Amino acid sequence: MRYISTRGNPPSTADSSGPTFCQILLGGLAPDGGLYLPDHYPQVSRTELDQWRGMAYADLAHAVLTKFIDDIPLDDLARLVARTYTAEAYGNGRVSAQASDITPLRWLEPPDPAQREAGLAILELSNGPTLAFKDMAMQLLGNLFEYVLARQGEEINILGATSGDTGSSAEYALRGKKGVRVFMLSPHERMSAFQRAQMYSLHDENIHNIAVRGMFDDAQDIVKAVSNDHAFKARYRIGAVNSINWARVAAQVVYYFKGYFAATGGIAGSNDQQVAFAVPSGNFGNICAGHVARMMGLPIGRLVLATNENDVLDEFFRTGVYRPRAAAETSATSSPSMDISKASNFERFVFDLVGRDPAVIRRLWAEVDAGGSFDLSGTPFFARLPEFGFVSGRSTHADRLATIRQTFGQYGLMIDTHTADGLKVASEWRTPEMPMVVLETALPAKFEETIVEALGCKPERPPGLQGIESLPQRFAVIDVSVDAVKELIAQGVHA
């Protein structure tokens, strides 16, 4: 498997040019500023789906990832995924979690064969060490980094940006890892108290937290600017853990297969049954993995994209206009991990939408990178949109409070604010013939203030996370400045 950039030229079939998985694993953005994708989407046959259906999560991860990774020996990759997806690692989240399932499916409304009614379910993705779905990919990424760095005898400095959950997931996955330093940017005072405490209370020598006086988009722009300074990137061996890193997306593809099998386990002709997935989305990474799974042949009938008040992506799927907002126009909401107005992974989908033409992507993103927008309405590209199965919707603070209350009252289940956004929009797109699976984002303990507002009680916390907000915190605060971040990286490397 070779990889191409969304802004570059496809490799020659004759010489199979293009980097391999391990070569792009450590690099983040492509040198031309684009994002990496496989040069083709590997196809999964119905026979393979039958074979994969009963697999444990680690075995399924190995089967899926070998479609994308052919430069790590099969036995080594099997050991890496087996070490990652364990009951011990994914038993720290929900107090009553079925840890051995890694991603158990919880039916809210089970399928009713008598009435031919499709079900509504939540796929639990937040049983990892930081109580967020990001752990599903990040724990594997940490083990992949350590393996490849040891094999190559190298070190790396990870530069990332977080709107809330990526940071803690990355830091818990990489703390203490040999040859790795982490420099994580976050929007100053824009995350929940729990999210801040998870990150800033880590005192490992290889972890550096940097709070930026701005929005997540400002932090993300800094990461891209540093990555596009090729001399600095080479000198300090800058890598990425944000979902601009293809390995993150590839690892997330796995739970779409697992969720599909769980949702269709009791349905006759299972591998012909289509399933809808509803995904709370800010940076488009999580739902991009669903797009990849669908392109591989997984029978996903519909990808339901849910935004909060920052509805840039919903606007595109409704109108064809992609109009990123400035920081001043980006709302601070009660689902803060989605307070994003420039969705990095969206470029990957648009690349497929425009027929994988890098010249079109360069033209469109020249407008975006200059602070503008683009409009595909009325073009053949936008006319193709239904082929990809996307629909979308928007949720507000009042919506998520109502959804949290309804879900708790009707099903006895407490959900977090982002999952509430997904469930609200999912309810608008349910159809009788297709099960609807909502991807859980995080546990409600991470957003205690809003849960109290909605339900009048505090969410239960897993053991060991009581009073985390009172722990000593260590972080630097800076203005929005690329140079300031570069200076902190240099200081951290030479300390």
Q: What is the pLDDT of residue 13?
A: 43
For 386-411, what is the mean pLDDT? 97
Looking at residue 467, its pLDDT comes to: 86
- 34, 5 Cβ separation under 8 angstroms: yes
Q: What is the mean pLDDT of residues 249-253?
A: 97
CB-based contacts of 185: which residues, under 8 Å, 6+ apart? 159, 160, 161, 162, 210, 211, 212, 219, 222, 223, 485
Nearest 5°: phi and psi at 288?
-65, -35
The β-bridge partners of 212 are 187, 478
pLDDT digits (tens, 9 = 90+) for 266-298: 654 577 899 999 999 999 999 999 999 999 999
pTM confidence score: 0.92
Phi, psi of 301 (to 5 degrees): -80, -30
C-alpha distance from residue 73 to each of 62, 79, 82, 155, 445 (Å): 11, 10, 14, 21, 40
Q: What's the pLDDT at 249?
A: 97
pLDDT at 265 over 60: yes
Give, for 208, the enclosing helix (H) or strand (E). Answer: strand 207-212
| pLDDT tens-digit readout, 207-229 | 999 999 999 999 989 998 998 89
b or e along 297-310 (b: 16 or more beta carbons within 10 Å of the residue's beta carbon)?
bbbbbbbbbbbbbb
Report pLDDT for 462: 82
Contact 339/308 with Cβ under 8 angstroms? yes
342 is catalytic: no
Q: How confident is the model at residue 96 (pLDDT cuts 50, 70, 90)?
A: very low
User: What percent of the chain has pLDDT above 70?
Assistant: 94
Q: Which residues contact 302 (CB under 8 A, 6 or more apart)?
A: 274, 276, 277, 389, 390, 391, 429, 434
- Count other Cβ atoms within 10 Å, centred on residue 20: 15
Q: Can you give the residue ranges of every domain in the chain? A: 1-132+245-465
Residues 155-177, mean pLDDT to the nearest whole number: 90
Question: Does the pLDDT of residue 15 top 50, yes or no?
Answer: no
pLDDT band of residue 495 (cuts 50, 70, 90) is low
pLDDT at residue 14, as a whole number: 39
The pLDDT, as a whole number, for residue 12 is 45
CA atoms of 16 and 2, how far apart (whole Å): 7
CA-CA distance, 134 to 487, in Å (whole number)? 28
Residue 113 confidence (pLDDT): 66
β-bridge partners, 303: 277, 390
Average pLDDT over residues 353-380: 96
Mean of pLDDT over the chain: 92
Cα separation, 399 vs 178, in Å, equals 45
pLDDT exceeds cutoff 60 at 109: yes
Q: What b/e readout covers 344-382, taking b as 16+ CB neighbours within 10 angstroms?
A: bbbbbbbbbbbeeebebbbebbeebeeeebbebeeeebb
Residue 390 confidence (pLDDT): 98
Catalytic residue among 134, 177, 224, 486: 134
Q: Which residues pair with 402 in a beta bridge?
A: none
Contact 122, 438 (CB under 8 A): yes
Residue 254 has pLDDT above 60, yes or no: yes
| 117 pLDDT above the threshold of 70 | no
Q: Is the pLDDT of residue 93 over 80?
A: no
Compute the distance between CA of residue 451 and CA of residue 404 in angstroms, rounded to an integer: 8
CB-based contacts of 318: which residues, under 8 Å, 6+ apart?
392
Instruction: Name the region of 396 (left: φ>0; alpha: ψ -120 to 50; beta: rest).
Output: beta
Residue 440: φ, ψ to 5°: -70, 140
Query: For residue 450, what are the CA distances in angstroms to 345, 397, 405, 418, 445?
Result: 28, 9, 11, 11, 10
17 — pLDDT class (breaks 50, 70, 90): confident
Q: Do the Cβ atoms of 255 and 406 come closer than 8 Å?
A: no
**Under CATH, which number does the domain 1-132+245-465 receive?**
3.40.50.1100
